[in-house]
Amino acid sequence: MEDKAIFSYKIKQWANELGFAHCGIAKADFLEEEAPHLEHWLQQGYNGTMQYMENHFDMRLDPRILVPDAKSVISLTYNYFTEKKQNKDAPKISKYAYGEDYHFVVKEKLKILFEKMQATIGDINGRCFVDSAPILEHAWAKKSGIGWVGKHSLLINKNQGSFFFLAEIIIDAELEYDIPFYTNHCGTCTACIDACPTDAIVGDKIIDGSKCISYLTIELKDTLPTEFKNKLDDWMFGCDVCQDVCPWNRFSIPHQEPRFEPNEKLRNMNRQEWKDITEEVFGEIFRKSAVKRTKYSGLKRNIDFLMS
């Protein structure tokens, strides 16, 4: 095996060539600091109907259970910020879902990166993840020096803000580890807390998931609770409010990923066209989109809730 420092440098170089904005490396270990916070969050029922969040508690805190004999957690960010907007009177979709499903776009790049690592380092085992496993990805990104966790519970980078996807590669080889990001640069700012339409940010870095608009419009499969009538701020899939008001996102720059470019029909549809959307049109616009997760019936439920 090559020198750990040289190999770690190469990983970051390859990541940059593949379009990742940041790459940091942390030692795979038990997340002792996060354990009581996760337990309290679950005890408060902040996961709503997301029962899967209660599963694999130990695995969420220890990557060595997820990947046997894991030594290193490589955290990466992939920019999805765009200045392009939908028709101003249309119900809104979160920026991250404008283009192709990030699970596939970013996962393909992770696999290429991992193959380069295997070709260079030799006999290593590992796994690639893009929001697809019980991993506390914000904690690992912080431990790898990429940024800090904001009051809205999302990772913030001083040079890029927070409009990026997080991804991880966990491997059973030792690397050179980065210095964790200890400083919190939110200060006394409460912009995200003050702007949340449903008051879902109930404490510093604590989100009541059952009140979050992203949860309500994507994760919740039941009828939308009447208590949120006129409180969804016209979001029909996801929500960007806490990021849109964050001062650090003034440093966001548009992504350079062609596959994240929005379907022009999505951008141009007006309010009435969304209200009358058919399953055929849904399939055409969101053929490769993350919006497929909510299905036509789910998106129509959300639109009807907003417009009734």
**Domain spans, the chain:** 1-308
Q: What's the pLDDT at 162?
A: 98
Mean of pLDDT values over 144-149:
98
Q: Give the closest residue to 305 by CA, choosing from 207, 211, 237.
A: 237
Helices 4-17 and 102-121: crossing angle, nearest 10°?
150
Mean pLDDT of the chain: 95
Q: Read off the pLDDT band of 53 (50, 70, 90).
A: confident
Distance CA 276, CA 96 (A): 24
Q: What's the pLDDT at 48?
A: 86
Q: If residue 38 lies in a helix (H) or strand (E), which one and from where to where?
A: helix 35-43
Surface-to-core class of residue 260, CB atoms within 10 Å of its CB (0-12 exposed, 13-18 middle, 19+ buried): buried
Instruction: Please work out, in degrees rounded to the nearest 5, the angle formed at the alpha carbon of residue 85 by the alpha carbons of 81 and 88.
Output: 150
Mean of pLDDT values over 175-196:
96
At 76 the three-state DSSP class reads strand
Q: Is the pLDDT of residue 2 over 60?
A: no
- Considering 29, 131, 172, 233, which one is annotated as catalytic? 131
Q: What's the pLDDT at 56?
A: 82
Q: What's the pLDDT at 265?
A: 93
Encoded amino acid at 99, one letter? G
Q: Tell me: the pLDDT tens digits for 88-142?
A: 999 999 999 999 999 999 999 999 999 999 998 888 999 999 988 889 999 999 9
Q: Tell me: the pLDDT tens digits for 202-243?
A: 999 999 999 999 999 999 999 999 999 999 999 999 999 999
State yes or no: is 131 an active-site residue: yes
Q: What is the gyration radius of the CA atoms in the chain, in angstroms?
A: 20
Enumerate the β-bridge partners of residue 148. Answer: 156
Mean of pLDDT values over 29-34:
94
Distance CA 308, CA 301 (A): 10
